[in-house]
Amino acid sequence: MIQHREVPLRRVAFLVGLAVRLDLDDDERVKLTQRAGRIALENVYFPLEMAHAKASQWKSLPIDEIRDLRYLKNLFRPLKALIEVEKETIQSREILAG
């Protein structure tokens, strides 16, 4: 059985996987990316600023807070990978155009 918090993780990863692996036009890829981003942001249940502040001292935090930070990392990691792919695509287009 999938735990409740795992569902958004899987949805984000799935949508990002589609955006990266399928031969989509730019508009379709943007729509998938935006949907994945919305899902990620809708499932952040405490301020990202707080998470950022706690991240540097994660080893000294209670286990529940460590799990919360790990959840956020896992939620946003696929989006970071997609950004890297998009950067490479843009650079390739600029080289070909230039």
Assess contact for 16 and 79: CB atoms under 8 A. yes
* Whole-prediction pTM: 0.77
Domain ranges of the chain: 6-97
Looking at residue 98, its pLDDT comes to 67
The C-alpha atoms of residue 73 and residue 23 are separated, in whole angstroms, by: 27
What are the residues whose beta carbons fall under 8 Å from the beta carbon of 15, sequence distance 6 or more? 32, 33, 35, 36, 39
Q: Are 17 and 81 in contact (CB under 8 A)?
A: no
Distance CA 48, CA 43 (A): 11
**2-6, 57-61, 75-79: least confidently modelled range:** 2-6
